[in-house]
């Protein structure tokens, strides 16, 4: 089955830059989307179409794509950014939805 | 702003069918631009897409669950529903509904369904 691979955890100090990657073979052909999930809450979309930011999402959240890897970058990390982050895309045929395994961002 | 709310039993017995409904408010489920999806999250684990439906009734499902899943829509009630048959403890999860435009946004608050006798 098709998989999106994320690191299980990333740790940064406040004010630093966090980068969370998501890798899969079909990512050069399929857009990626990113969600933030705080404990006990539903996921919230923070990036769509690789690098677009929805209204209401702080500018410190950005996305990029290079080959088979997409990256969520959080600049000037704040304590409130501590959460789980999931990437989402489609399989190579563009038919089925797939989520990455999630990355726990810890703000030290 | 569009809102989604899941509803249904919080406890289901093994081998029975899990049934949930998602009610859409402050917007129409009959919008031609969107699908409507179900996603679940077992306790302490990641997100898993279950399946999605268009207002016309067109559906597509996660291949790993396809044999047990049925998603339907009731445009008169602005609702869509999930049925998952022959459940086991592995189906215990928080179930979310969401509007889908390739990506999912917004999401409902989620509802915990426990499979236990």
**pLDDT for position B33:** 86
Q: Which pLDDT band holds residue B34 (cuts at 50, 70, 90)? A: very high
Taking residues B25-43, report their average pLDDT.
94
Answer for the pair B67, B87: CB distance below 8 angstroms, yes or no.
Answer: no
Contact map slice: A 18-47 vs B, CB within 8 A: 31, 33, 35, 42-45
Taking residues A76-91, report their average pLDDT.
97
Q: Looking at the complex, does the CB of residue A48 fall below 8 Å from at least one CB of chain B?
A: yes
Minimal Cα–Cα distance from A82 to chain B, Å? 16
The chain-wide mean pLDDT, for chain B, equals 97
Q: Across the interface, do A48 and B105 touch by the CB < 8 Å criterion?
A: yes
What 3-state DSSP class applies to A101? Answer: coil
**pLDDT for position B23:** 98
Q: Across the interface, do A31 and B102 touch by the CB < 8 Å criterion?
A: yes
The torsion angles phi and psi of A80, rounded to 5 degrees, stand at: -70, -10
Give residues with Cβ within 8 angstroms of A6, minimum separation 6: A20, A21, A22, A23, A85, A86, A87, A100, A101, A102, A103
Closest residue to B47, CB basis, from A1, A43, A54: A43
**Residue B41 to residue B69: CA distance in whole angstroms:** 16
């Amino acid at each position: 089955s098709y998989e999106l691979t994320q690191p299980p955890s990333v740790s940064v100090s406040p004010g630093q830059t966090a980068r969370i990657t998501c890798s899969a073979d079909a990512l050069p052909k399929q857009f990626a989307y990113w969600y933030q999930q705080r404990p006990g809450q539903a996921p919230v979309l923070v990036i769509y179409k690789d690098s677009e930011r929805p209204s209401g999402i702080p500018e410190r959240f950005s996305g990029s794509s290079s080959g088979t890897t997409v990256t969520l970058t959080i600049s000037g990390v704040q304590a409130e950014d501590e959460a789980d982050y999931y990437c989402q895309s489609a399989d190579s045929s563009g038919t089925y939805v797939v989520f990455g395994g999630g990355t726990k961002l810890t703000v030290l | 702003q569009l809102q989604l709310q899941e509803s249904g039993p919080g406890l289901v017995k093994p081998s029975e069918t899990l049934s949930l409904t998602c009610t859409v408010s402050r917007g129409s489920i009959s919008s031609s631009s969107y699908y409507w999806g179900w996603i679940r999250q077992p306790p302490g684990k990641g997100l898993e897409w279950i399946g999605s439906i268009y207002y016309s009734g067109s559906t597509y499902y996660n291949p790993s669950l396809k044999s047990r899943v049925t998603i339907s829509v009731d445009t008169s009630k602005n609702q869509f529903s999930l049925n998952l048959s022959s459940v086991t403890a592995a189906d215990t999860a928080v179930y979310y509904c969401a509007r889908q435009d390739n990506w999912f946004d917004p999401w409902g608050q989620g509802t915990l369904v426990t499979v236990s006798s």
